Amino acid sequence: MRIGNSCVLISIFLLMPSISGCLGGSIADSDTNEDKHWLPPVEDRSEMQYRDDDVFSRVSWNGTFAIDSTRSIYVEVPAIGLEDGGAGASGGAHVHLGLWLPVVEGCDFDSPEVEDNCRVPIIAEIGPYYDDGDVDALTPANRLGRFLIENFVPHGFGVAQVSVFGTGESNHCMDLMGLDEQEGIHAAVEYLGSAPFSNGNVGAIGKSYDGSTPWEAAAIGSEYLRTIVPMSGLIGVHDLMWRNGSMEARGAIMHNGVYGSFGLDGDLEDTQNACEGYFEGYYAGVGAYLTGDNLAWTGSDYWEERHFLSRAIQNYGGSVYIIHGLQDWNVDPHMAFPVHNIMVDAGFEVKGLYGQWGHHYPDRRSDHEGLGSGRGGEAFPYTLRWDWADDLLEWFNFYLMEKGPQPRLVAEVQDNIGGWRVEAQYPPADLEWIRMDMDHCSIIGGSDTITTFSSLTIECPNFDREVRIVGTPTFHVEATISLAATSGHLFVEMVQSSDGKHLGHAVMDLRFHAGGKEGEMLVPGTTVLAKMEFFGMDVVVPEGDGINLIISQSGEDYVPSPSSTMPVSLGLGSESILSLSSVNRDCSNLFLPPMLQGYPHCN
């Protein structure tokens, strides 16, 4: 496969009547004030009023442009060649997109020569779901497309809904975030940035799979890609599915067992699913489960192709606005932390929005109100961000429209009892570490030998002050594997002592006891120091309360190591230490989101 610039040939069809609205002037003279912030700082928005009668947030002031009829566009991807199989062998690989543009008086967007003052920036939502479990790419999608179209096209932006290969009306192979898929995304970005109607600025946004495609676009890079807004997105497929060698239950089947079927829909293009990535998917998932690693030592590049962060740092030149739920256990928070600070340290302009929601958008009441205790329930309704559409408008105005002052490059973070605050980076730079030796804690349940059917509960002393645990605490514990095993598996849940409320969790295959991606086969009976790291968390433990650790072999959606489900014995001596990363913050550091009353715990 090749990574490079793609030539683009297109065919365009106009579909559907225009959506009514007011005509505006040229894009260059549109209604954004370049000299001052029209949106107050987030700390000063509590009195702002927003529409809350729809499923998503609305901008506080409407744009002046009507929304034109939908354009159906096919973009050819010549980078797909014979060696890639699929449409590379049969000819004519293309991706399909639906495009919405504003109605601008005096501007003909279908002309091969569009005047400079008519050209618009493009916001693209790219994913596999159009016509595969959702509406087609020519219909505004409720998951995000309608939000983008109705909020931002009237402000002079174009919005594109793009189907990745093997889905919707895009042909070729469903490649599950591989290089073929990345080439298709790149071709779409190149087209949207170079088309006559475009001002040359493209932004990519989406959630979940659609939040991973912005990272894919950044991995190849493009002079037109000016900002990405990944929401609950993957920085790499193996990076998500394996954590310290431990596999999520879906890891082994994600390609062929889940998304590969999107390319098999009973039409004549089903044969195009016969491509390299699809065949590799059969062994890559199972092989990684057996070893815990990315199989590079076998000569396979399956997982390396699907790691985006490193190449994004090398090839991308735009800004990054990361949005992630701290209670998202579909795409775990380690896809955002420490990524936020990694991108800052690499010189990127980065903003973060990290609320106590799950695999959700920041502004969907029906999703947020269903969260349970310890899983975001205590933070509702303060999780709801009705100012999110305004926030994105400010972001896109600057990075795509090139108007207005630069948005603040900060992290807006919410703790597990609802409080929002602004941090300069996340996790913060002023972390303090609280060390808790296990020989000062007590076993209150189970024994120090963990089996498939048993667990160990450890109670640590209560705190004499409020403690705010932030970032990725660590737990180092001595572990001895069975004489009949070459590995073992541990899952640790941190709960609040008084009520058992979930605070955080960590997981490890003991072959990866040093952490990271480098594992080793263990000699039966070996004792190791398992250097476990918790997933990202931002929780408050009240003064006079404490934490318990519940240690078992598996939890959440992780499965034990295939090399052993034998007992693991734990040593709770001086080498076993819980280290809590914390910051000193209180109610004076909190801000209140719009349309909500004051925090009960701050009265």
Beta-bridge mates of residue 459: 442, 548
pLDDT recorded at residue 538 = 98
Confidence label for 561 from pLDDT (cuts 50, 70 and 90) = confident
For residues 82-94, average pLDDT: 87
Measure CA of the first residue to CA of the last residue in the chain; give whole Å.
Answer: 60
Which has more confidence, 268 or 346? 346
pLDDT of residue 270: 64
Give the integer Cα–Cα distance in Å for 52 and 56: 7
Tokens of 462: 């209560």
Strand partners, 236: 307
> Distance between CA 132 and CA 421 in Å, rounded?
39
Q: Which residues in 565-595 are b (16+ Cβ under 10 Å) and which e?
A: bbbbbbbbeeebebebbbbebeeeebebbbb
Task: Dump pLDDT digits (tens) for 237-293.
Answer: 999 999 999 999 998 888 877 787 776 666 656 667 777 777 788 888 888 888 888
Fold for the domain defined by 432-582: Jelly Rolls (2.60.120)
Residue from 437, 425, 446, 442 nearest 478 by CA: 437
Give 111's contacts (C-beta < 8 A, 6+ positions apart).
Answer: 196
Residue 10's beta-bridge partner residues? 75
Provide the pLDDT for residue 192. Answer: 98
Q: How far apart are CA 315 and CA 492, in angstroms?
A: 38
Mean pLDDT of 529-540: 97
Residue 368 DSSP SS3? helix
pLDDT of residue 241: 93
Three-state secondary-structure class, residue 27:
helix
Mean predicted confidence (pLDDT) in 444-471: 95
Tell me if 72 sits within 8 A of 12, measured CB to CB.
yes
Q: How far apart are CA 548 and CA 540, in angstroms?
A: 14
Q: Is 527 exposed, middle or buried (0-12, 13-18, 19+ CB in 10 A)?
A: middle
Pinpoint the alpha helices (H) of 91-208: 145-152, 179-194
Map tokens 């991606």 to a residue. Answer: 517
Owner of token pair 């793009």: 162
| Same fold? 10-235+314-423, 432-582 | no
pLDDT tens string 28-50:
666 554 457 899 999 999 999 99
SS3 603: coil
Q: Helices (H) and strands (E) in the chain — how many of each?
A: 11, 30
pLDDT at 267: 61
CA gap 500, 589 in Å, rounded = 27
Superfamily of domain 10-235+314-423: Alpha/Beta hydrolase fold, catalytic domain (3.40.50.1820)
Helix (H, G, I), strand (E, B) or coil at 167: coil
Token duo for residue 78: 């010549």
Mapped onto helix, strand or coil, the DSSP state of residue 288 is helix
If one counts every other C-beta atom within 10 angstroms of the C-beta of residue 274, the result is 14
How confident is the model at residue 6, as a pLDDT?
Answer: 40
Q: Can you give the pLDDT at residue 44?
A: 96
SS (H, E, C) 509-570: EHHHCCCCCCCCCCCCCCEEEEEEECCCEEEEECCCCCEEEEEECCCCCEECCCCCCCCEEE
| Amino acid at the residue 64 | T
Taking the C-alpha atoms of residue 122 and residue 218, their distance in angstroms, rounded to an integer, is 16
- For residue 107, is pLDDT > 50? yes
Nearest of 346, 385, 132 to residue 235 by alpha carbon: 346
Q: Omega into 381 within 30° of 0, i.e. cis?
A: yes
What is the pLDDT, as a whole number, of residue 282?
A: 81
Q: What is the percentage of the chain residues whose pLDDT exceeds 70?
A: 92
The pLDDT tens digits for 487-522 are 999 999 999 999 999 999 999 999 999 988 888 989
Band (25; pLDDT cuts 50, 70, 90): low
**Domain positions in the chain:** 10-235+314-423, 432-582
